[in-house]
Amino acid sequence: MRKHGFVASAMAVILSAVMAVGLAGCKGEGVSKNTSPKKGDGSVDTSSHEVINMLVLGDKPSNGRCEAMLKELNQVLTEKVNAELKLTYVEWADWQTQYNVQLLSGDSSMDIITTATDWLYGWENVEKGAFLPLSEEMLKTYAPKTWSQVDASGNWNICKYKGEIYFIPEDHYTQYTNHGMFYRGDWAKEAGLLNGTVTKFNDLTTYFQYVKENKEGVIPWDVAGKNNSGGVLGGFIQSNTDSRVMVGCNAGNYEFWFTSASDPYTIYSPYMESNVIYEAAELMKQWNEIGVWREDVLNFDGDSREEMYAGTSGSDQHHSQTYYSQIKPNMDKKQPGSDAKMYPWGQENKNIAKPLKTHGAAAISANSKHPERALMVYDLLRNDETCYRYINYGIEGTDYIITSDNKLAYPEGWDQSTDKLDSNFWCGRNDDLELENSFNWSGTKEMIENLNEIAYTYEFENLILNKHEVEAEQAAIANVLSEYLPQLAYGKYDNPREAIDEMRRKIKDAGYDKVKSAFQKDMDEYKKENGK
């Protein structure tokens, strides 16, 4: 799904603090929330033509394919509900800041918002009034197929805040969004790793060192540190402890607050209360000295994935889904014999979480002028086969083809790097309408089954921590993290232990104990209410 890095942006922190002011006056004012404009005969009134603007994440495509698809999709939408779809992109450069800017702007042209409760500030934006509450009547009237599908799974409850529904979950789509490192199995085998496989975090050191010393013109991991300033510190923690990230309470843009498998109802931060961060930082210093990344990594904003395809980067980092749907098939094609593999963070200690059902979700903007029509369009994109194929696959014969055995394939000469649709509809995919992709790796099903066997279900999907009383402290902690973590993550401190101790003192002074106490109070109440 996303190019996710732990990017700490001071501007994003400031924006999150002021959103309460900026959005306080737009909690549905001027929109017909909880209303159902109908004709006298009870049918939905679609007499006026509406343009429905959907906010999506990703770099705006420039190959013309998305525009061509929208032209044809909009003919269908006009025929069915007298509406057309427009896509507005929040691009990956400084995406956290720009996403919040867009929601803060009060743009009344915005209708459908791509959101998530784990990486797109879903609950925070609910609390700040960015989204429209959706009544059952409204959903049943304007998105009936979606209502029935989600209702059957019992997942409307995880979309509620103070009793009202704010999200439509992407809960009928199979994906794994856990992170890990992609690498070349052929080079890992040459490096002496058994079966050419990384089975624990420290195996990466062996792999990187071999690539550095033996593959001329290749950077072991040409990571864009500018856009990934948390590096893999979190991955090291996940792989070497039983710590589990608490969703929805980041300090700025850093996953800082955790519980653990052994003590699931106690909130803490391993960055503050564990020796694991010392071990991680020392390893990152070693990687820096090896030359795992370029010297100016913190200023680099290149694309390690395309470099991996080109054979100039030995690795890349992202989701399991990215691996089986993009990395593996592309590497097989562009680097034959590379035997691309993935090491998931937490593999060795089975510390992998199943995706939240609201990792992908849709919301309706509180400023939308026509939320009812927006829901009608969303219902078609999610449930109508014709519309679904347009928004997800493009135009048949140009962007994709259907094989004789009803599988998704691509025209001769099609290249994912240059010809992708990039509509980025990540808030309503539907297994009932998904085509089996002949391009995907044949081992996808087995990989997902293996992950299902070891992954745990995140317990606190319904726990919304009260962050209002500690916003200032959270922002102050985020500022300290943004000062130290990028340097620690890429091994730039001569004495990382000394830097960590200094960081901890500053975080303590910023209000660590106050935030921890406030979050623990909410956790204790949750535990009591749920009989834990």
pLDDT digits (tens, 9 = 90+) for 279-322: 999 999 999 999 999 999 999 989 999 999 999 999 999 999 99
Mean pLDDT of the chain: 91
pLDDT over 50 at 441, yes or no: yes
**What pLDDT shows up at residue 222?**
97
Q: What are the domain boundaries of the chain?
A: 48-174+356-433
Query: So what's the pLDDT on residue 37?
Result: 64
Contact 77, 377 (CB under 8 A): yes
> If pLDDT is split at 50, 70 and 90, which confidence band does 9 have?
very low
Q: What is the pLDDT of residue 253?
A: 81
Q: Which of 98-102, 241-245, 402-406 has the largest mean confidence?
A: 241-245
Rounded to the nearest angstrom, the gap between the alpha carbon of residue 78 and the centroid of all alpha carbons in its chain is: 31
Cross-strand pairs, 402: 408
How much of the chain is helix, strand and coil, in % rounded to 5? 45, 15, 40
Stated pTM of the model: 0.82
Question: Would the pLDDT of 4 be above 70?
Answer: no
For the segment 65-91, the average pLDDT, to the nearest whole number, is 98
Tell me which residue has tokens 């994935």. Answer: 305
What is the mean predicted confidence (pLDDT) over 49-73?
Answer: 97
Mutual angle of helices 276-290 and 471-489, in 10-degree steps: 40
Percent of the chain with pLDDT over 70: 92
Arithmetic mean of pLDDT, 87-110 = 90
How would DSSP label each residue in 359-410?
A: SSEEEEBTT-S-HHHHHHHHHHHHH-HHHHHHHHH-SBTTTBEE-TTS-EE-
Q: Is residue 73 within 8 Å of 85, Cβ to Cβ?
A: yes
Check residue 42 and give its pLDDT. Answer: 55
What span, in angstroms and rounded, lies between the C-alpha atoms of 140 and 269?
42
What confidence category does residue 19 fall into, taking pLDDT thresholds of 50, 70 and 90?
Answer: very low
Q: Which stretches of 215-343 are DSSP H helices?
A: 233-240, 270-273, 276-290, 304-310, 320-322, 328-334
Burial of 91 (0-12, 13-18, 19+ CB in 10 A): exposed
Whether residue 173 is predicted with pLDDT greater than 70 in this model: the reply is yes
- The predicted structure's pLDDT at residue 298: 94
Distance CA(363)–CA(165), nearest Å, equals: 10
Residue 505: the pLDDT is 98
- Spelled out in words, what is the top-level CATH class assigned to the domain 48-174+356-433? alpha beta
Residues contacting 446, CB < 8 A, separation 6+: none
d(CA 158, CA 95): 26
| Entry field: residues in the chain | 532
Confidence of residue 39 (pLDDT cuts 50, 70, 90): low
Of 144-148, 212-216, 329-333, 458-462, give the lowest mean pLDDT range: 458-462
Give whole-number Cα distances, 132 to 75, 111, 121, 266, 340, in Å: 28, 10, 15, 33, 44
* The pLDDT of residue 38: 63
* DSSP structural state of residue 343: E
Buried b / exposed e across 398-407, counting CB within 10 Å, b at 16+? Answer: ebbbeeeeee
Q: Note the pLDDT tens digit of each residue in 302-312.
A: 999 999 999 99
pLDDT-derived band at 33 (thresholds 50, 70, 90) equals very low
Q: Pick the range with the lowest mean pLDDT from 194-198, 227-231, 248-252, 408-412.
A: 227-231
pLDDT digits (tens, 9 = 90+) for 192-241: 999 999 999 999 999 999 999 999 999 999 999 987 776 799 999 999 99
